[in-house]
Amino acid sequence: MRGQVVERTPVAPVPGISKPAMRDLVSTRDLSPTEVRSVLDLAAVVKARPSDFRRTLEGKQLVMFFEKPSLRTRLTFEAGMASLGGTAFFMDQTGGRIDARESLHDIAHNVERWVDVMVLRTFAHSTVEEMAAHASIPVINALSDLEHPCQALADYSVLQERFGNLKNVTLAYVGDGNNVAHSLLLTGALLGSRVRVATPKGYELNGEIVQAAEEIAKETGATLELLSDPQRAVAGADAVYTDAWASMGQEHESQARVPIFQPYQVNEKLMARAASHAVFMHCLPAHRGQEVTDSIMDSPQSVIFDQAEGRLHVQKAILMLLLWGGASRFPVRGAHA
């Protein structure tokens, strides 16, 4: 059970942006459709008027625990926090798991006394869940083996900027049924979009994630299709998305996966089946010549660097929305069960 917290000066609300009820961002499932739209809308405002938010998180401090290497995630959180007036600290956990020296329970109750928000990039999704269960400050999932919510929100912010009403957008994901695919499916479901996912047999999406997305889609009117044929998935799509065939921690499977995933490579032939205005998307880093060819990566259709930029704006929005109520780093003594 979380302890009570002492309220601090709240972050000022932004006109037209709804205050979310979310306490953490452990899973895309933590968000309601309204909250997803709030993140995207606030990100758009932040991108258009960054100078208006220079002191929004003044005095706030963020810590990042990363078990996996990172370029985009680390720098966008650090740059984002600095540009909002706050401070970020990095804890390199690539040499050992976060809980190798002491329990997550004890780490959480130390960290909550020092900083205002925690960002985790982990292997096990349960690590993020457990840290959030113990900490009285907001916890953000910056990637786990199950989900990558910040990435998917940034991706849909790019699609919203490019196409407008996301209910009219069809996103086709082809490749491994991994954490990125999970968060794309869930985010698309929350936004009422059309999402097609094509994966090889044996590499399908997690069943629990699919069930959760289908339940959300019943409420939002989203259309979700799970396929094995990449040609069908891409046909007429507005966006074609792929990711590495083997995620971090699966490098030993890389060579064995190549012949299985080769039909899912995004090349000129596959991309030609999408709408003429379609964009190509990839969360990066990419293995050029494997899941995507250079001709597509470097084409005018590619928005991969827009996606990378989108991480900055979306994560700034997430930080502001989570700290809206003035999360405290000083829980009441003895309040934790």
Task: List the catalytic residues.
Answer: 121, 148, 151, 243, 283, 311
- CA-atom Rg of the chain in angstroms: 20
H or E stretch covering 72: helix 72-83
Supply φ then ψ for residue 264, to 5 degrees: -100, 5
176 near 243, Cβ under 8 Å? yes
Residue 155: phi and psi, rounded to 5, are -60, -45
Residue 20 φ/ψ, nearest 5 degrees: -80, 160
Q: What is the rounded CA–CA span in Å between residue 214 and residue 234?
A: 20
The two most distant CA atoms of the chain are separated, in Å, by 63
Q: Taking the mean position of all CA atoms in its chain, how far away is CA 125?
A: 13
Contact 142, 127 (CB under 8 A): no
CA-CA distance, 61 to 88, in Å (whole number)? 6
- Residue tagged 């003895």 (tokens): 334
**CA–CA distance, 303 with 55 (Å, rounded to integer):** 30
DSSP state of 277: T
What does DSSP assign to residue 329?
S
